[in-house]
Structure 1
Amino acid sequence: MHAPPSDQKTTGTTGTTGTTLATLAAAQFAVTLSTSIVNVALPAVRDGIGLSDTGLSWVVNAYGLAFGALLLLGGRAADLLGRRRVLAAGLALFSAAAVAAGLASTPWMLIAARTAQGAGAAAIAPAALSLTMRLHPPGPARAKALGVWGAVSGAGGAAGVLLGGVLTQGPGWPWVFHASGIGAGAVLAATLRLVPADPKEAGGPRPRLDLAGSLTATAGLVSLVYGLTAAGRAGWTDPLVFGPLGAAAALLALFALVERRHPAPLLPPGLLTRGAVAPANLVMALLGAVWVGLFFFLPLYQQQVLGAGPLEAGLSQLPLAAANMLGSGLAPVLARRIGPHRTLLAGLATQAAGFLWLARIPADGTFLIHLLGPVLLIGVGLGVAFVQLTGSAVSGVEPSDAGLAGGLVNTTRQIGGAVGLAVLGTLAAARTASAPPGLPHAAALTEGYRAAFLLSAAVLALGATLTPLLARGTRRAPESVPTPPPFAAPCPSHRTHRTHRTR
């Protein structure tokens, strides 16, 4: 298929810009849906395939690690190899991996399939958004397109929570993955028919893909998360713990060396010294750590301790999504009235208060009395903090690097979530294992969840202490600050995604 004569029409198809946008938005919907749809199904997945409590976190982390570690590479590949080509390849891998996850009969098969699904998502998200930006020039058309993009991202997270409960309680947990695979396959067919190919670009040298950086970063992060997860069952002195942690340190050091020597590194070292990029990414990593833990532990508490069914657990997360969207809308209003950094501090403090409230949940609690209040606080605070951190992460960055800075903060969130879940899961498992022998199992589980929520509050408090660094970084920024790349506030999927390139 040849490039279209203009960005407003596709070539050789009956599609228009509207149908093309719908197709690209559907690709983003598939990514956000597939992350949130799994959360409610986790207890059923564990029972159906024989996963341990610590191994269960890998159903989430395998996807998140592959997604986060390969996201910048996916954006670079889309720039170099063609956006539609990379989008189609990502959708094909994503669809096949999702179906394979539903067919998995052993834990390792499921985790391998989820890893492949995350790799596919890392190609889909940046390519789809980059195509959206190319097909809609700056102005009202692009603003409308990005509004659709943000709405679809939020809807995918909320729909995944509800659909996950319906499918798990109905045909069973494998259909949580089959539905994602079938949906991605339909989007792939629409992409090949409706999305125009990239126009031919002028010749000249093009930067090479940083495969060595991607491999060392991915391997290092997997080793780190594996070591942290193993500590919960083996203890910190076990070779299964300090061996992977030592390998992680070596691999991440090698990644830093590769990035310094590669002509087109995934993470240019100078980027972290601009504006508030470094402190904003650090706080975003902390924020990602706690919200991934929330969406992991909350459905487990509701189903394993309170006895809720998958559908009930899914429906009960909808107030959290609504509060999240409310916080996202409040963020710019608060920033104009009290300043962006006070707004960020308020968002982090609100979340911390919600987690402290959750740290008091009893084994015989109810949703209305013990969960609704704290999740509303957390949802509002999460929306406010996410908006402010995303803007801070690109403040003071040159316009040519704004997309890269946006992709970095997205990657940081994913990786922070994976590492955070490993730490929180280890703590919860250790606290449950150390419960008094006569304590009922539900009460022992509750003790573990309470410990995880208490640590989450402490992590947010640490993030709040770092907000002065963001203020100083922003004051050092140039007068002309680029508009932040498009984003959507996180929903119960705890992930929304953006490319590192927007050209």
Structure 2
Amino acid sequence: MAHEPRTRVADGPVADPRRWAILGFLGVAQFMLIIDVTVVAIALPHMGADLGLDREATTWVVSAYTLAFGGLMLLGGRIADLLGSRNVVIAGLAVFTVASLVSGVADSSTALLGGRVAQGVGAALLSPAALSAVVQLFDGEERNKALGIWSGLGGAGAAVGVLLGGVLTAGPGWPWVFYVNVPIGVVVTVVLLRVLPVAPGAGATGMRRGSLDVIGAGLVTAATGTAIYALIGAGDRGWTDRTTLLLLLGAVLLYVLFGLRQRTAAVPLMDLALLARRPVAAGTFLVVSATSLMVAAFFLGTFYLQHHADLGALLTGVLFLPIALATMAGATVAGQQLAAVGGRLLTALGFGIAALGFTVAAVGLGTTAVVVGLTIGAVGLGVLFVVAAATALGQVAPHESGIASGIVSTFHEFGASLGAAVVSSVAAASIAGSGTDGFVDGFTLGAAVAVAAGLVAMFLVPGRPAQAATVADGGEW
């Protein structure tokens, strides 16, 4: 294919004239990864019924994807540095597309969970490599615009995912929440093979293979996986059961080993010194808390509306649409007000609104109360997502922005795994179809977590607007 002449951005490097079109196709690929949590959430009850999945297996349909995605994302970024973003984008997209097909044709829990893990691996390769490609394609003010579009995919993905999940599950069936990725993935792969420019990887300049910290990635994924397994099983074994406690202890030990590995690795996956900075630690705490609450809301809501209220997948998807849109609204308002009022006040409001929403759902526990309550709570969670990103990334030096973004994204996925695991255990009886007490307990726990996290965040989140602080003082407590 003949390459078009390259143009120059004012006062910047030579730019590819196809960069906006390329951004569009990379955005479609990233969009598939984002909606893959919410689109699947709506289909969970139907998957469980058709494949005979118990509560633990159903929970792992969500957690297996987010765990592999989050646990391997930093490694995926390192691989992109080594091999070049184009190669890893194509590889990740191919793995994700094939894994989607495997998940769709699955006729057992083993096959489905295997497909979901493979989807997570593909996502962990694709997401950081695609973002790296975007950064390489754009410069200056254009880069800011491109990254703004990229960031906006999150809220839009949640909204589209819930509606698409309902339409597909109620129509051709739940396998189509996976099948829909296949033609899109094939088309995007073919197009990107033709238009995505080759960027040299660090391997071309002598980067050592030893700098790829596979051991570190394995340790952090195993640690989180062990913790999630313990939390999911606690719903049946009990929270003080010996097996539960031993598994949690094992997870702690694996995290300790991961920390030691990061201190000794030539090129560590995660800069633990960066996590020790107050803004980064605060932003990470916010993103874990908000994501856990959001996934818990989707998990409880979809099972309540479909299993207990017997509304069906399509109507459930429609009812979840205002919840997703409320998240976007909260994020928009927070983005506009952050500079004026600062992160601490918005954090208090965000957790307070989230707690109110979960309380409404728990106290009213009816179709209207659940939808209204989760919609209210989603406004607060949207606020928290913006504050989390601005707090964690607003005060790091430019050369640290990549690893800081990777840390926030990794903990976002871990938060999703944690939320699904905990709420599944707390509401185990109701999810299995025995009464509504479990739903009340789950929503009540969400309110309690929002209150407790809000109190902790008051000590973590800096009181000044992000713009008022400098990189120099950003690391002080």
- What SS is found at the alignment partner of 2:424? helix
- Looking at structure 2, the residues matched to 231 and 7 of structure 1 have their Cα atoms a distance apart, in angstroms, of 59
Which of the numbers 298, 310, 315 marks the counterpart of 2:318?
A: 315
CA contact (8 A) 2:344 2:462 kept: no
- Looking at structure 2, the residues matched to 87 and 200 of structure 1 have their Cα atoms a distance apart, in angstroms, of 13
- Looking at structure 1, the residues matched to 240 and 441 of structure 2 have their Cα atoms a distance apart, in angstroms, of 22
CA contact (8 A) 2:361 2:371 kept: no
Residue of structure 1 in register with 2:170 after alignment: 169
- Looking at structure 2, the residues matched to 210 and 473 of structure 1 have their Cα atoms a distance apart, in angstroms, of 36
Structure 1 residues 375-413: Cα deviation after superposition (integer angstroms, max 9, x where no partner): 231121111111011111124322211221122112112
Q: Is 1:339 aligned to residue 342 of structure 2?
A: yes
Q: Is 1:328 aligned to residue 331 of structure 2?
A: yes
Query: 1:229-268 alignment to 2 at 5 Å?
Result: 229-236=232-239, 240-268=243-271
Q: Aligned-pair distance for 1:331?
A: 0.6
Query: 1:182-193 alignment to 2 at 5 Å?
Result: 182-193=183-194
CA contact (8 A) 1:276 1:469 kept: no
CA contact (8 A) 1:33 1:180 kept: no
- Looking at structure 1, the residues matched to 151 and 238 of structure 2 have their Cα atoms a distance apart, in angstroms, of 43
Q: Aligned-pair distance for 1:5?
A: 8.3
Which of the numbers 283, 289, 303 marks the counterpart of 1:300?
A: 303
Alpha-carbon spacing, 1:350–1:478, altered in 2? closer, same or farther (3 Å): closer
- Looking at structure 1, the residues matched to 201 and 143 of structure 2 have their Cα atoms a distance apart, in angstroms, of 22
Alpha-carbon spacing, 1:18–1:366, altered in 2? closer, same or farther (3 Å): same
Residue of structure 1 in register with 2:437 after alignment: 447
Alpha-carbon spacing, 1:173–1:466, altered in 2? closer, same or farther (3 Å): same
Q: Is 1:458 aligned to residue 444 of structure 2?
A: no
Query: 1:86-485 alignment to 2 at 5 Å?
Result: 86-139=88-141, 141-199=142-200, 203-205=205-207, 208-236=211-239, 240-362=243-365, 365-367=366-368, 370-429=369-428, 432=430, 444-472=434-462, 479-481=469-471
Alpha-carbon spacing, 1:476–1:163, altered in 2? closer, same or farther (3 Å): closer
Structure 1 residues 245-285: Cα deviation after superposition (integer angstroms, max 9, x where no partner): 34323322211111111011111221122241113212322
Deviates more, 1:254-263 or 1:60-69: 254-263
CA contact (8 A) 2:394 2:466 kept: no
Structure 1 residues 81-128: Cα deviation after superposition (integer angstroms, max 9, x where no partner): 110111111011101111001111111111111011011111111111
Q: Aligned-pair distance for 1:203?
A: 2.8
Q: In structure 2, what residue type is equivalent to 1:267?
A: M
Alpha-carbon spacing, 1:127–1:164, altered in 2? closer, same or farther (3 Å): same
Q: In structure 1, what residue type is equivalent to 2:383?
A: V
- What SS is found at the alignment partner of 2:363? coil
Between the two structures, name the one with larger relative contact order (CA 8 Å, sep ≥ 6). Answer: 1
Which ranges in structure 2 are unaligned for 5 or more consecutive residues?
10-15
- Looking at structure 2, the residues matched to 124 and 8 of structure 1 have their Cα atoms a distance apart, in angstroms, of 28
- What SS is found at the alignment partner of 1:254? helix
- Looking at structure 2, the residues matched to 179 and 171 of structure 1 have their Cα atoms a distance apart, in angstroms, of 11
Q: In structure 2, what residue type is equivalent to 1:36?
A: T
CA contact (8 A) 1:352 1:460 kept: yes
- Looking at structure 2, the residues matched to 151 and 169 of structure 1 have their Cα atoms a distance apart, in angstroms, of 28
Alpha-carbon spacing, 1:479–1:167, altered in 2? closer, same or farther (3 Å): closer
- Looking at structure 1, the residues matched to 241 and 383 of structure 2 have their Cα atoms a distance apart, in angstroms, of 41
Alpha-carbon spacing, 1:63–1:4, altered in 2? closer, same or farther (3 Å): farther
- Looking at structure 2, the residues matched to 3 and 210 of structure 1 have their Cα atoms a distance apart, in angstroms, of 37
Alpha-carbon spacing, 1:250–1:336, altered in 2? closer, same or farther (3 Å): closer
- Looking at structure 1, the residues matched to 164 and 461 of structure 2 have their Cα atoms a distance apart, in angstroms, of 41
- Looking at structure 1, the residues matched to 436 and 201 of structure 2 have their Cα atoms a distance apart, in angstroms, of 58
- Looking at structure 2, the residues matched to 376 and 232 of structure 1 have their Cα atoms a distance apart, in angstroms, of 27
CA contact (8 A) 2:6 2:17 kept: no
Structure 1 residues 314-362: Cα deviation after superposition (integer angstroms, max 9, x where no partner): 0111111221111111113332443321012111111111011111243
Q: How many corresponding residue pairs?
A: 465
- Looking at structure 2, the residues matched to 172 and 471 of structure 1 have their Cα atoms a distance apart, in angstroms, of 44
Q: Aligned-pair distance for 1:199?
A: 4.1
Q: In structure 1, what residue type is equivalent to 2:186?
A: G
Q: Structure 2 length as normaliser, TM-score?
A: 0.90
- Looking at structure 2, the residues matched to 258 and 91 of structure 1 have their Cα atoms a distance apart, in angstroms, of 30
Residue of structure 2 in register with 1:76 after alignment: 78
Q: In structure 1, what residue type is equivalent to 2:252?
A: A
- Looking at structure 2, the residues matched to 478 and 377 of structure 1 have their Cα atoms a distance apart, in angstroms, of 31
Alpha-carbon spacing, 1:151–1:478, altered in 2? closer, same or farther (3 Å): closer
Q: Structure 1 length as normaliser, TM-score?
A: 0.86
